Copies of this chain bind each other. A is one copy, B any other.
Amino acid sequence: MKLPAQVRIVEVGPRDGLQNERQPIAIADKLMLIRRLQDAGLRSIEVAAFVSPKWVPQMADAAAVLAGVLAESRPGVGYAVLVPNLRGLEAALAAGATEVAVFAAASERFSQRNINCSIAESLQRFKPVVERARQAQVRVRGYVSCAAGCPYEGEIAPAAVVAVASALAGMGCEEISLGDTTGVGNPASISRMLEAVMRHLPPQRLAGHYHDTYGMAAANVYASLQLGIATFDASVAGLGGCPYAPGAAGNVATEDLVWLLHGLGIATGLDLDRLVDTAAWISRLLGREPFSRVTRALRATPAGPR
C-alpha cells in the first residue's frame, strides 16, 4: 500500500474555525493567527467569508481581514475566501481576492437549512459565480458538505456526492473539498464515497475535509491516503466545534493531522512545534482548552516525543 510522499494541508481555521465563535474577535487577532499559521509553514489558508453579517456576524470584517492579509502577503501562499453568491464574489474581488470557494451540500435537507435553497438551485447560483471568478483569473474551490452523512437525512448515498462534486468540477472549480461536516464518517463510508467520486474526478482534484466529532478524523485521513488523496483541510487547535454538537470537536486539528502525516513519513512542510504553540495561543484567546489531542498531550509533557 503506497501512500502519497507529500500532502498539502489547507488551513481553514480563520474561516471555518472562527465563524461560529460568538464573541467578536479583533481583526488584529485574526491577522496574528494568519501570520502565525504562515510562520508554521502553511501555504493555503482560508482567511474569511464574504457572507451576510446578519447570518455570520463573526465574518462581518471579511474585507478588512483580507485587506490586512494582502497588505503583508507572502510569496507562494494562497489566501482564499468563501463566497456564497455573486454579490459576495464581487465584494471579495473588490477587496483583492485571488482565490475563492463556494459551498454546496450533498444533502437536500442540509442545503435547505444551511443555505436556504435546493441543491439544484445552489448549483444554479454558483454557475455565474464560478464563471465570473474565472474571468477574473481567480482560482475557485468547491465544497461539498455532508459528503459522509447528514444531521437531518442520516446516510448520504455516494451517488449524491458524485453528482454535486461533478457539477462543481464541471462548472470550473479546480479543487473539490469533500466535507464530513458532522464527523459521522468512518474509514469504510469515507472510502466508499471517495471511490465513487474518483470514478469521475482524479484524486489530484480532491481534498478531504473531515471533522473529528467522533474521533474518527485520523482514521479517515489514513483511509483516504490509501486511496491516493493528498490534500486535506484542517483547522489549528481543532477550531470550529460542530454547531450540531456543542462541546464536541470540530475540524480535525491541523497539528493532529501533521502528527499523523509525519508519523507516516509523509512530508507536509509544516513545523509541528509552531502549530502547537499557535493552537495553545488561539485557544487561550478564545478561553478554552484546545480540542487537539496532540496539543494537549505535548503541552502536558513539553519534553515528550515529536
Contacts and interface: CB of A to CB of B under 8 A. Distances in A.
Query: Number of copies of this chain in the oligomer?
Result: 2
A304 B244 contact: yes
A128 interface: no
Given A219-B218, A246-B300, A305 B184 contact: yes
B244 A294 contact: no
Interface in A161-195: 182-184, 186-189
Given A245-B304, A296-B248, A263 B215 contact: no
A120 to B, nearest CB: 26
B245 A297 contact: yes
A149 interface: yes
A273 to B, nearest CB: 14
Contact of A264 (B186, B242, B256, B294): B186
Contacts of A281: none
Nearest to A223: B222
Contact of A260 (B219, B221, B248, B264): B219
A79 B230 CA distance: 45
Given A264-B188, A297-B183, A214 B259 contact: yes
A186 B305 CA distance: 13
Contacts of A207: none
A260 B184 CA distance: 10
Contacts of A219: 218-219, 221-222, 260
Interface string A144-164: 000001010010000000000
Contact of A296 (B184, B247, B292): B247
Nearest to A216: B218
Given A184-B305, A222-B222, A264-B186, A293 B215 contact: yes
B293 A245 contact: no
Interface in A276-294: 292-294
